Amino acid sequence: MEPLRVLELYSGIGGMHQALRESCIPAQVVAAVDVNNIANEVYNYNFPHTQLLAKTIEGITLEEFERLSFDMILMSPPCQPFTRIGLQGDVTDPRTNSFMYILDILPRLQKLPKYILLENVKGFEISSTRDLLIQTIESCGFQYQEFLLSPTSLGIPNSRLRYFLIAKLQSEPLPFQAPGQVLMEFPKNEYEHTQKRAIDAENTIEGKKIEPNVSFDSSKQCSEKEAILFKLETAGEIERKHQQDSDLSVQMLKDFLEDDADTSQYFLPPKPLLRYALLLDIVKPTCRRSMCFTKGYGRYIEGTGSVLQTAEDVQIENIYKSLTSLSQEEKIKKLLMLKLRYFTPKEIANLHGFPPEFGMWDTCGPQLSFIKCPKIH
């Protein structure tokens, strides 16, 4: 089989390139395109022999696309127009302009690619942008299938529900095709080797908004179903988390943690710990879940990702239920007993599936430097 010539758009740090490499499909990435300078530095470090175009997609002419003569397109367009916690501007959001340009270019290519793989956030599948994508690839003769998948589908304890589209330029339908249906997991007859889980879009609290003006007063009267037990969580929410932690098809977080690293700089300081204590999603190394990590993780607390309780023998319920009548100093002292810290950049890379040899930016030190991701056990 001749190696596929692959064009990687919105290449970022090279996640799709790495996935392509691990698929063992004979392929050569003939060009990668991104405008983010830091992402491009990481990409160059890991894929030094790939042509990287640090320019906007709209700055690439039809003739330049033709000269690349690619067989496959990998792309992950900007997700902000579709994310559930954004404005959901869809096609009216200027950040979709580059993708609209791709949809305009595609039918005009003299040689269409054989394959297209696209990734985006949940919400893209109900957008007008997605409808335009489908109209375009159908008019070009592509067969396609769409999926909603999370790392938990593959046994990784991180809730990051995402939309994927696979398209193939052939008359024969895809072997797992279900026309007009967004599949919530890979069909069993095609991917029996994966640990499969149906992903419920409502079974994630990523992006959940909670009023910030909260207190430790538990006297508020609620119905039994919605009663706040502690840490602003209802009995139903706690039960859902217990069910996630009991899912043996998903690995424990401890399998993704750094064993011997100095994590002292990642512990939550007392002031933000007190201010945001009720909003934290707290997990232990033995948990089989974590929230989606966002780019604000480490700088912002609410809704940006889980924090790790390293004092595993301390009962979190006892700590929170004892806070009501304490002074601020006493509350801080109690909360510090949990030894809460952020996940390290290496640990987050592990949870995103990057291999040990992949170099990442260490942005927590005094200077930017490349680090190696630890081995995932």
| Structure token digits, residue 32 | 């990668």
Residues facing 115 on adjacent strands: 72, 168
User: Which amino acid is residue 89, in one-letter code?
Assistant: G
Q: According to the 3-state scheme, what is the secondary structure of the chain?
A: CCCEEEEEECCCCCHHHHHHHHHCCCEEEEEEECCCHHHHHHHHHHCCCCCEECCCHHHCCHHHHHHHCCCEEEECCCCCCCCCCCCCCHHHCHHHHHHHHHHHHHHHCCCCCCEEEEEEECCHHHCHHHHHHHHHHHHCCCEEEEEEECHHHHCCCCCCCEEEEEEECCCCCCCCCCCCCEECCCCCCCCCCCCCCCCCCCCCCCCCCCCCCCCCCCCCCCCCCCCEEECCEEHHHHHHHHHHHCCCCCCCHHHHCCCCCCCHHHECCHHHHHHCHHHCCEECCCCCCCCCCCCCECCECCCCCCEEECCCCCCHHHHHHCCCCCCHHHHHHHHHCCCEECCCHHHHHHHCCCCCCCEEEECCCCCCEEEECCCCC
Active-site option among 24, 79, 222, 292: 79
User: Which amino acid is residue 354, in one-letter code?
Assistant: F
Tokens 């696979």 sit on residue: 166
The 10 Å CB-count burial string (b at 16+, else e) for 39-76 is: bbbbbbebbeebebbeeebeebeeeebeeeebbbbbbb
Active-site residue, 79 included: yes
- Give the separation between CA 256 and CA 297, rounded to whole angstroms: 18
User: Which amino acid is residue 167, in one-letter code?
Assistant: A
Would you please indicate which residues are annotated as catalytic (active-site) residues? 79
